[in-house]
A and B are shown apart, each in its own frame.
Chain A
C-alpha cells in the first residue's frame, strides 16, 4: 500500500475552535490512513485472537489420537499466524506513517505561522513555547491521532472475541465482555499520579541538563577565573534531585507493572478455573478450554491499547491546546492598500521627530540615547508590531505615502531596517546571502565594503570540507563561531547585498575596531552611492563620511549639515559627538 506523500503541498486551514476540534481536524486530514490502519489492526489482532483456537484443536487432536487433526490444526495455525504477521507489518507501516503525517502537518502549520508573524511573534509569545510545539508537542499529538485507529480496532476485537465466547459458553462470554472494561478502568487511577510525578521528574531533568549545558558553555570563563568546584557541587545537587524524583515516579510505575501482571492474571485464572470445571464434567472439550484460555490471555493486548489511549489523550489535549494557541495568533494591521511609486527616489520623513533622509544620500543620525535611536530606526521601516499597552505613533512617510498604509511586504521591500542585533541564520554562506533582492550587488563587493576578509578566512577554517570555497563554508547558528565584530560585519554585508531602495542601519560598526571602521565607512559610502541610506552612529569615522548629519535632541531634529560644518558651528553637536567618546581621559579630568 503506497503511503501518502509528505510534506503536504498545502497544509490547509486548521479548525482552531478548541484543542479537541484541532485533533479531530488532523484525524480527518488523513482519513484514508486511519481507515487502513484500523483494517490492518483488525487483521493482526484477529489472527492473534484466533490462534489459540488452532492450538486448542491441535491439543484436542493429540488427545483424540488423530494425526490428520494435528496437521490440520498446524495448517490453520500457520495461516492465522501468517495473517497476523502480515497485518502486523502493514499496521506498523500505516500507524507510523499516520503519526508522521500528523507531526509533519502540525510542523508545517507552525512554520508557516512563524514566518507569517515575523517580528510580531516574539512580542506575543515566548520563543520557547513555539519551539516546544514544533518538537515535543507534535510527537504527542501525532501519537494520539495515530492511536485512534488502533483503539477502534481494539474495541471491535474485544466485542468480537466476547461474542464468540458468548455463543460457545454464555457465562464465560459475559465474563470476558465485562472483564475487559473493568480491567481497563482499574488501570486509570494510577495514571494521574504517575503523570504528575513523571512531569516533575522531567522538569528537574530539564533543569539539570540546562545546568550542565550552561556550565559547559561557560567553561572558558570558569577555567580562566575559577569556581569549578562551586559549579560541580551545584550540578551534583541538581543531578541527585533528578535521581530522587525518578525513583519516586518509578515506584508508581512498578506498582502499575504489578497491576498489569496481576489483574489480567486473575482474569485468566478465573476463566481457566471455570472452564476446567466444565471440561471435567464433560461440557467443554479440552481443546476448547485451551482456546478460551489463549483468547482470554490475548485480550491483555487490546487492554493495553485502551490504557495507552487514556494516557495519550491526557497529554495530547494539553499539547493540542498549546498548538492552537500558537496557530491562533494573528497580526492585525489596518487596511493597507496604498502603493509606493519609485521608493528609491523619495525622501524618508518622520513626522514625530522631524527627521528627513533625502533620497539618494547617506544620512547619519546622532542621538544621545541609544534606546531612542533603536526605536526610531524600527519606526523608519513602518508597521511596528505593538506590544500590549503601546499606542501607535504617526507613520513614517516615504515620498508622502504613509508606510503603515502600504502592504507589509511592499514596505519591507522598500525600506530595510538593519537593527542593532541582526541574526545570522545558520547554513552555508551562499544560503546566508540568498536574500530577496540579492544579485544586483556582487557578493564580492558587499563583502569587501563590509571588510569581511578575515570573516571568510575564519569560516573556511571552521569548515574543513568546503574545499577552501568560502561560499560553501558554514555559518553556525547566530554566527556563534565568530567574534562580535566579525558577526556585525557579515550581517552588514548581507544587508548591503539585499540592496534595498532605502537602508536604515543602527550602529552597524559598534563592535568593530577603528582601523576597520574607517575602511567600512568608505566602502559603505561607495557601495550605496545614489541609494538612500540612514545610519545611526556615534563614531566620527562614520559621521565624517555622511552626506548629511542630523542631530536629535529630546526627540526632535535640531540641526543638520555636514559633519565638519556641524563640528565647527554647532556647539551642541560638538558636545554630543566628542563628549566622552573622543575626549581623551587626561583632558576630561
Chain B
C-alpha cells in the first residue's frame, strides 16, 4: 500500500528548528537538572521488577518439588515467599510510578517555561517578519505532543528497559541456555520494526494533522455561521468536511495497514521466543541438561519478555514524534538575540530618515530612497494608498527593522543598533493589531507601567475616551478580559492599546492606523482627547482618514515607496496636487 498523497500543511515554519546536536545538548541539560529524580525512579522500579520475577521462580521450584514428590511442607513456604514478593512488587510499582509522574511533571514544567522565557526574548524584527502563528503552534501543539511523550512515553520506556534487562538477567541466572533460545525471534523483530519505523512517524503526523484539519473546518463553519448563510455556502461546507474526513481517513487506513503488517510479525517473534524456549528447553530437560524447575521458570520468563519489548516498540514512535516537537521548541533558542550596541545613545529627540531603501526580500524594495526629518514635538501624518509602504516606513521609524540602505536615526544614533529596551523607552509603535491579553483589565494596562497605581490607570483610560465603559465593567479594573473573559469590542481593544501607550509615555509615537476600527466620529473624538495628553510628544501617524492629516503639522504623501508630496495641509491644498484633489472631493468643495 502506498501512502496517501494529501498532506495537511501546518502553519508555515517561519522560525528555525533545532538541529539534532542542539536537541541532544538540551536533553543533556535536562538530564543534569533532574539526575536525582531519574535515578530514584529507576531504582524503585528495579525493586518492583525483581520482586515480580519471584513468582515464576517460586512456581518453578514448586513444580520441581511436585515432580520429584518432595512437595510436602514446601508449599506453604513457597506461597509465603510469593505473597511477600507480591506485596513488595505492588508497593514499589505504585511508588515508582508516582516518582515517575512527579519527575515527568517537573521536566514538562521546565520545558514549557523555558520555551516561553525564550520566546518573550525574541527580537521584534524577527517577530514582525515571522509572525506569531508558528510560535503559537509551537507553544500549544508541540508542547501538547511533548506532554504525552514525557508524561507517558519516557516513564514507560524507562520502566520497560529496566524490566527487559532484569528479565534477561533472570533468564541468564536460571539457565544461560534458555536465555539463548529466547532470542530466536529477535532477527524477525528487528527487520520488521525497522520497516515499520521508517514509515510510521511521518504517517502518524499526517494522520494527526488530518484529524485536526477536520476540526478546523468545523470550527470555521460555526465561527463564520453568518457569512456561510449569507453566501449560501452550507452545502459547500458539508462537502468540504466530507472531503477533509476522506483525507484523514486515507491516512488512518494507511497507518492501519502499517500495523496490520507489523503486529503479526512481532507477535510471531514473541511466540517464537516462548515456543523455542518450550520445545528446545523440553528437549534439554530430557537430555538432563536442565531441570524441570528451570524449564518452567524459563518458559514463564520468556513470556515475561514480551510485555517490556512490546512497551518499548509501542512508545518508540511516540518518542520520535516527541523528538520532532522538541526540536521545534529548541529551535527558538537558535534565533540569534539582538545584540544591542550599548554605546548607541540618542542625543535629543530628532528622528531622521536619510535616503532609506528597504525590502522584505532580496531585490524587491518596498521603499525607494525616502528622506524624512521629524522635528521634536511635531505631528507628522503619512497618507497614501494601500501598499505604498506607509506601514513599512512606520516600522523603520520605530526601530523594528534596520534600513537596507540609508539610515534612520534618533538624536543622531542609529535606532536599529540600540538595545530593544532602550528603543521602547524612546519610541513606541501602536498598530492595528489590538491584542487583549487574557487577564484582568489592570494586567492589560500595567504591562506598560508595572508601577502604576489605579488612579494613573484610570487617568490613562480617560485620556483615550475609555473611562466610561471601563467603569461600567462588572468588576472595574479587576474584570477578566480577553479570550474567555468579558469580550471587548475591537474599538475598545484599540482604545486599550492606546491607553497602554499613554502609560508607557515614550517621547515619540508611531501610530499605524491606531484608530481605524472606531467609527469615524468616535475616532475623531479620541484623537482630540489623545492629542491633549500627548502635548509636546512627537507623533508620526499613519492614517486613512483625511482629518488626521489635516490636523498634522506636516503631511507626507507616500506613493509607490516614495514621498510624492510633502508639506503642511494649507501648503499642499494650495499646491493643487493629487492630495488637494482628494481633499476637495472629500470635503465636497468641488
Contact = CB atoms under 8 A, between A and B. Distances in A.
B242 A584 contact: no
A62 B282 contact: yes
Contact of B86 (A134, A232, A269): A269
Contacts of A336: none
Interface in A512-557: 512-519, 538-541, 544
Given A127-B219, A215-B120, A293-B59, A230 B225 contact: no
Interface in B252-266: 252-253, 256, 259-260, 263-264
A183 interface: no
Contacts of A276: 62, 66, 71, 75, 78-79
A497 B543 CA distance: 29
B383 A262 contact: no
Nearest to A250: B101
A434 interface: yes
Interface string A411-430: 01100111100110110000
B516 A484 contact: yes
Contacts of B450: 226-227, 229-230
Contacts of B299: 55, 58-59
Interface in B222-257: 222-238, 241-242, 245-246, 249, 252-253, 256
B424 to A, nearest CB: 6
Given A85-B271, A239-B109, A277-B75, A130 B218 contact: yes
A547 B106 CA distance: 69
B518 to A, nearest CB: 9
A17 B495 CA distance: 48
B418 interface: no
B179 to A, nearest CB: 18
Given A62-B286, A217-B136, A254 B544 contact: no
Interface residues of B, number: 163
Interface string B484-495: 100000000000
A289 to B, nearest CB: 7
A100 B97 CA distance: 32
B519 interface: yes
Given A59-B63, A515-B582, A131 B218 contact: yes
Consensus secondary structure, chain B interface: helix
A171 B428 CA distance: 84
A243 B101 contact: no
A115 B278 contact: no
A87 to B, nearest CB: 10
B546 interface: yes
A545 to B, nearest CB: 10
B192 interface: no
B109 to A, nearest CB: 5
B435 interface: yes
A540 B547 CA distance: 13
A224 B282 CA distance: 77
A286 B483 contact: no
B48 to A, nearest CB: 8
A453 B560 CA distance: 13
B439 to A, nearest CB: 7
A62 to B, nearest CB: 5
Interface stretch (A116-124, A153-161, A303-311, A340-348): A116-124
Interface stretch (A27-35, A63-71, A144-152, A315-323): A63-71
A220 B241 contact: no
28 contacts: A58-B282, A59-B282, A61-B282, A111-B238, A112-B238, A116-B234, A131-B222, A134-B215, A211-B438, A214-B437, A217-B435, A219-B120, A220-B127, A254-B98, A277-B75, A280-B71, A412-B229, A423-B220, A423-B227, A425-B233, A436-B233, A461-B361, A483-B432, A483-B513, A494-B231, A495-B231, A540-B586, A567-B588
Given A70-B283, A261-B93, A584-B551, 5 more contacts: A3-B253, A74-B275, A115-B233, A514-B586, A563-B588
